Structure 1
């Protein structure tokens, strides 16, 4: 057993044989198997004051896993917990939770990097399709992953940090639970203080960074990783998780270009969205499900990310916009009742023709839509959101009140649920204290409101309580 000395003078024992290795670090397991020590390979790392100052800033002043909401963000980040000074510079990070390792199949024991779920084989087949069915997860869980990832990036940017290498390599995901964790935190960019160590991973490097790689480091025109380049990578990951393809990898080629030049143009100066509305030269022939199938809110953000903002970083959506739009779109998800559907869920956004884009089936029977309204002044209500109803759908405080957001500390106690009972849609009160019927009568817990086309009722009479108008499809 070997012994490492930490920056605070304490010591930690670790196994002498490395368990992993990356481009910059070699990884060893601590004796108690709860953490790993990542030693920098560069022998001069320990004498670099900027690197040490960066690590100290990341561990202390910029650390979201400390203080308020710290326990929540420990689940979204594998954040370093200590700096190692001897035998040479390194960091200690927690061991990844067990659900981020494959439990079955040919990949058993390997980390669940995003590439296994969005990457392709040489023949173009999705790697996801080669995984055991138990490891693939469900489409709705990829949707959850996108919400968690957007929230994690939003928290980084809120602290003034940028990841610099946000990619399917540095985000581990678990599609069986809908969870994700961001890793490789020690290379974060602290703007105006610590420059990036890395430029990113192929497929996720922003076009402006790739286009200026040839310029000297001190050239003012050279573009380096920052929050806007994270925004590009985040949009790419969300597009891949929800649609199973890369937004820039299409059939367009540049015949006179070498393989390296082809990639640099495809992802850099000549990058073109595969679903560009007026230039279809990069559109794959087998593109069956357009990004517009994900609903109006996400469609607007994809347009800004890959059309307006692809070569104009300042136009890209911020992480908080993705988080809010994903949460809003979550309320438009509907179960697909086709047992053979590969997705089992879809976004209900086309009210004129309700059809699952993944399998083409049409749901039978009526579908209630709860149109949520908030009071802007006495007696005046404006549309504030919508909820597509399916059997056993739960409603929460953020549905009942217009000032509640489903963030990390939100109360997740169900307030009501909807059921289809003997052909009639009902909203069953669970914990709403002033739910009122369309006639204005108080509806106590365990009592119901019938969901019929055109009826209106209050979810709460308290300040910020919402009004519901039912639309039946």
Structure 2
């Protein structure tokens, strides 16, 4: 087998196969001989002499690398981060090969990368094998992970500049995602963007000023604020399966290109605008408000209040927190033919799956979680919708724990429906206290199961007597049989 050799900036060498396996506007891609990594050579012949590009790659590889250090293993799952700079035969980077789950395994798409494009475009998604489409709850997981990844980048002072359906690979069968094309990150004030973005994800202010010269102070270029727009678009697409700005409205334009610049740029209008219905599709069946108040508020900010006001857009951390909070309102839909199999129970007066119309039966406990903000004053700050075999974690029991990349994911308790009774079974809560004030023992080291609390309407109990421990008030939703 013929092989070629590349030299890295640190003097080491890597053998690679001569066949091009992928090509974009800026790079050609080759497998290393063991196929554990790929080498991406810049197509621009002058790239090797571009000191600015080389310095940016050095910064990305060493100064801003989230895949090293304490949380490195976690962020290796969220980013395809470069591992080396190639200097010969020409400038390039070496990155890990995408994990196998980010390639289609079946059907005519087998072997192709799982670009988000296939899953967010209504005309493309039906073409995919059913086994590859995943369940709706997995797209919710993808949203949380993507918001966390982009949040890390922005906190580090970076911007992606081309966050889009093409640069986020997703696996809806496992709820995983990976952000790619890292070598073009923007460091504000140091390294300008190489690209303006991808159609449908370029922020309106960038399109509206694209005609201005590069040195015009009014021209808007990719930044963290434009990433925030793209992130909101992707989350909307993952959860609702449509684009938030692609509606039926036609603008007076001389060409298709001008029409696109208007509908995504200066004249962009949310398809679910609460007052202006001129861009609303006739077949819009599931409104964004079915996603609960926290996400609804962020979508309204992103696509109504701040669509044309970049400084007011929700930041990635706000999306992450809203998604995590809304996750606790998810409940299974028991209709076997439901296309989603899950929905968000945020309106106790109308408990119905918006995807199929099915209504649950029996009783559903809702835990109203309260925190002691002042001595003796317990404030509602979270709700948890209970279903059979749901787990309770430390971030439910304590108000100072957030389920981020460093969170302890040891289950603390779980819920079961047993003989018509809803029970909270203690596993690891050391000071769980019953409504009567008695200690509820956790499971023992010898395997003895923990004690239980029966969930009844109106009862209150403390998940922990320790500082920041939450109090629970139980609300039972009784549904018609």
Please classify the TM superposition score into its range, dividing by the shorter chain length.
over 0.9
Pick aligned residue for 1:409 from 406, 422, 446 = 406
Measure, in 2, the Cα distance between the counterparts of 1:77 and 1:288. Answer: 34
Aligned to 1:225: 222
* Greater mean alpha carbon deviation, residues 439-448 or residues 238-247: 439-448
C-alpha RMSD of matched pairs (Å): 0.7
Pick aligned residue for 2:420 from 423, 429, 446 = 423
- Map 1:372-411 → 2, pairs under 5 A: 372-411=369-408
Q: Is 1:356 aligned to residue 358 of structure 2?
A: no
What's the secondary structure of 1:155's corresponding residue?
A: helix
Q: Is 1:82 aligned to residue 79 of structure 2?
A: no
Pick aligned residue for 1:457 from 446, 461, 470 = 461
Measure, in 2, the Cα distance between the counterparts of 1:373 and 1:241. Answer: 31
TM-score by length of 1: 0.98
The unaligned stretches of length 5 or more in structure 1 are none
The unaligned stretches of length 5 or more in structure 2 are 443-449
Measure, in 2, the Cα distance between the counterparts of 1:170 and 1:383. Answer: 39
- Map 1:199-218 → 2, pairs under 5 A: 199-218=196-215
Measure, in 2, the Cα distance between the counterparts of 1:111 and 1:469. Answer: 47
CA drift at 1:32: 1.8
Measure, in 1, the Cα distance between the counterparts of 2:363 and 2:125. Answer: 34
What's the secondary structure of 1:231's corresponding residue?
A: helix
1:40-78 deviations in Å (ceiling 9; x for gaps):
000000101100011001001111111121111011000
Runs of 4 or more above 6 Å deviation: none
CA drift at 1:255: 4.1
Number of aligned residues: 468
CA drift at 1:119: 1.6
Q: Is 1:467 aligned to residue 471 of structure 2?
A: yes
Measure, in 2, the Cα distance between the counterparts of 1:257 and 1:177. Answer: 45
Pick aligned residue for 2:41 from 24, 39, 42 = 39
1:138-179 deviations in Å (ceiling 9; x for gaps):
000000000000000000001100000000100000000000
Q: Is 1:152 aligned to residue 152 of structure 2?
A: no
Aligned to 1:99: 101
Measure, in 2, the Cα distance between the counterparts of 1:380 and 1:222. Answer: 51
- Map 1:204-353 → 2, pairs under 5 A: 204-353=201-350
1:82-120 deviations in Å (ceiling 9; x for gaps):
000000000000000000000001100000000000124
Measure, in 2, the Cα distance between the counterparts of 1:291 and 1:377. Answer: 35
Aligned to 2:446: none
Measure, in 2, the Cα distance between the counterparts of 1:404 and 1:59. Answer: 31
Aligned to 1:55: 57
CA drift at 1:409: 1.2
Aligned to 1:12: 14
1:365-415 deviations in Å (ceiling 9; x for gaps):
111000000111222111110000001010000000110000101111110
CA drift at 1:314: 0.7
Aligned to 1:3: 5
What's the secondary structure of 2:94's corresponding residue?
A: strand
Distance 1:162 1:256, change over 3 A: closer
1:236-291 deviations in Å (ceiling 9; x for gaps):
00000000000000000024431111100000000000000000000000000000
TM-score by length of 2: 0.97
Measure, in 2, the Cα distance between the counterparts of 1:378 and 1:40. Answer: 61
Aligned to 2:368: 371
